[in-house]
Amino acid sequence: MQEQKLKTNLDTNFIKLIAIISMTIDHFGGAFFPEYPIFRWVGRLAFPLFCYCLTVGMLYTHDIKKYLLRLLAFAFISQPFWILAFNSNDIVGNIFNFNIFFTLVISLLATWGFKEKKWWLFISGLLLLSIVNFDYSMTGLILMLIFYLCRNKPSLGAILYILSYLPAFLNTTMSDPLALKLFGHAIGFEIFALFALPFIYLHTNTELKISKWFFYIYYPAHLFVIYLIHLFI
């Protein structure tokens, strides 16, 4: 029997499915209904769920190098579809507007460097996320470190996860169209990522069987569908 490496939810196929549904709602809302922030709010669940699943993958994979290379390959495959879906009017200008796969790969590489005490990898990842214009910037690395370091202390992990999103209460204004407005105060839409917390810290047992390739292929495929819809509208 495989060693239990985490005390958090290991129903990762179910978690990934929730993540891609959330991501799809986010992307289609952002592309076609930007005036309705609820689509983007729902989408805040996706990134932390992907970060968690990759942390689980890092701990359970038999070959971390193949795992990282596979992720990196799909990051490059997805890049043209990402540009076409959201920036087809300026393809050249958005070549270095990297899709989320790149953020996840760098964050995972840095976390693995931390785990293995390969400090040059950890610091390199840290610097890349700080200097290069990656989506979510340092958030992925912070979340993965929380998930890894608190893998056997779920209560502490949940507390740190919540604390990591508290700046969302401060870093926005009433003029932000995506902000949640309550009682004359604006709350950054990142706060909706807290709804990902129960999927990570409450155990489910759906026994979903989904090929790992589905999750890899879905990302560029749904971006291409968004691009095609743009062409026909």
pTM (2 decimals)?
0.94
pLDDT on residue 4: 52
| Beta carbons within 10 angstroms of residue 182's beta carbon | 8
pLDDT on residue 98: 92
pLDDT on residue 100: 93
Q: Partners of 187 in the beta sheet?
A: 180
3-state helix, strand, coil in the chain (%, to 5): 70, 5, 30
Instruction: Give SS3 for 38.
Output: helix
197, two tokens: 């917390």
Nearest to 98 by CA among 114, 119, 74: 74
pLDDT on residue 173: 84
pLDDT in tens, 2-19: 445 789 999 999 999 999
pLDDT in tens, 158-190: 999 999 998 877 778 888 899 898 888 889 999
pLDDT in tens, 96-141: 889 999 999 999 999 999 999 999 999 999 999 999 888 888 999 9
pLDDT in tens, 22-45: 999 999 999 999 999 999 999 999
| Beta carbons within 10 angstroms of residue 119's beta carbon | 11
pLDDT on residue 1: 34
Nearest to 52 by CA among 156, 166, 150: 150
pLDDT in tens, 37-78: 999 999 999 999 999 999 999 999 999 999 999 999 999 999
pLDDT in tens, 178-221: 989 888 888 999 999 999 999 999 999 998 999 999 999 999 99
Domain edges within the chain: 12-232
pLDDT on residue 2: 44
Can you tell me the distance from the alpha carbon of 227 to that of 80, in angstroms, rounded to the nearest whole number? 11
55, two tokens: 């942390």
Amino acid of residue 196 = A
Instruction: Give SS3 for 174.
Output: coil
pLDDT on residue 185: 86
pLDDT on residue 172: 80
Instruction: Give SS3 for 231.
Output: helix
pLDDT on residue 3: 47
